[in-house]
Amino acid sequence: MIRSILLTASIIASGTLLSQNLKTVSYKDGSQKLNGLVTSNAGQKLPGVLILPAWKGIDEEAKTAALKLEKQGYIAFIADIYGEGKIPVNNEEAAKSSGYYKQNYKEYQNRIALALEQLKRGGAIADKIAVIGYCFGGTGALESARGNLPVAGVVSIHGSLGRDQSRKNEKLNAKILVENPADDKSVSPDDYNNLIKEMNDGNADWQIITYAHSKHTFTDPKSPDYNETMAKRAWSHTLLFLKEILR
């Protein structure tokens, strides 16, 4: 009897793990091969969330977010911004690669747009899609709004808030949530104030939540900056925002 119960439990556990697998989806930008990841509920008609990873490419934080979003009833797709063979292996390479896309923001917006197409092909309802991003990906979330990509809203999680001030402030259609750590030294007061002006000039529906006693990568459990309490609050705020705009 006990053996039967254990076997049943093992089968259930295996099925649960299988349901949480992320499937690789290969796509292209010209000749550059890109390898994203999609949740196992792809193929259903559900709201979708595009996840833009941090500066080293697809990482555990992005994967964990995708699996958690799947449990909330969203199809999640993790974008590959850099492409096969171009994934940074250290901080120096990551700074160079992410810096390139921040400077060449239209190329960044294009890679995001390609990933959005893959999310829609995976079953995401076209008018119920949001973008969330961590660090460099948080910058990408803001670029999704700046490029007026077809999304309902964006969440920038400890993203860089600065941008080239020679760029003109344009209308911003997507709703915007910025989750900003209070002690992020990479965000200057000017960056913060310029973003607010940009969002106001763009007549955006926006909000900024600032998390006390939190440094740059405060949501990443593997980071020395990790703040468990604030990370949990930030995730709750993300889910609340997604529920509002996608349900």
Which tokens in the block code for residue 77?
């797709």
Which residues are 154's β-sheet partners? 131, 176
Termini Cα distance of the chain: 44
pLDDT at 152: 98
Per-residue pLDDT at 36 exceeds 90: yes
Q: Quickly tell me which residue has 């993300």 as its tokens.
A: 238
Per-residue pLDDT at 16 exceeds 90: no
pLDDT digits (tens, 9 = 90+) for 86-126: 999 999 999 999 999 999 999 999 999 999 999 999 999 99
Distance CA 204, CA 183 (A): 25
- Identify the band that residue 3 occupies on the pLDDT scale cut at 50, 70 and 90: very low
Size (the chain), residues: 247
Q: Quickly tell me which residue has 């309802």 as its tokens.
A: 125
pLDDT digits (tens, 9 = 90+) for 194-216: 999 999 999 999 999 999 999 99
Distance CA 81, CA 101 (A): 9
pLDDT digits (tens, 9 = 90+) for 123-147: 999 999 999 999 999 999 999 999 9
- Identify the band that residue 20 occupies on the pLDDT scale cut at 50, 70 and 90: low
- Most distant pair of Cα atoms in the chain: their distance: 72
Which tokens in the block code for residue 187?
């965000």
What secondary structure letter does DSSP report for 144? H
The whole-model pTM stands at 0.92
Q: Which of 29, 124, 36 is nearest to 75 (CA)?
A: 124
Which tokens in the block code for residue 171?
């209308």
**Above pLDDT 70, what percent of the chain?**
92
pLDDT at 184: 98
Distance CA 35, CA 223 (A): 25
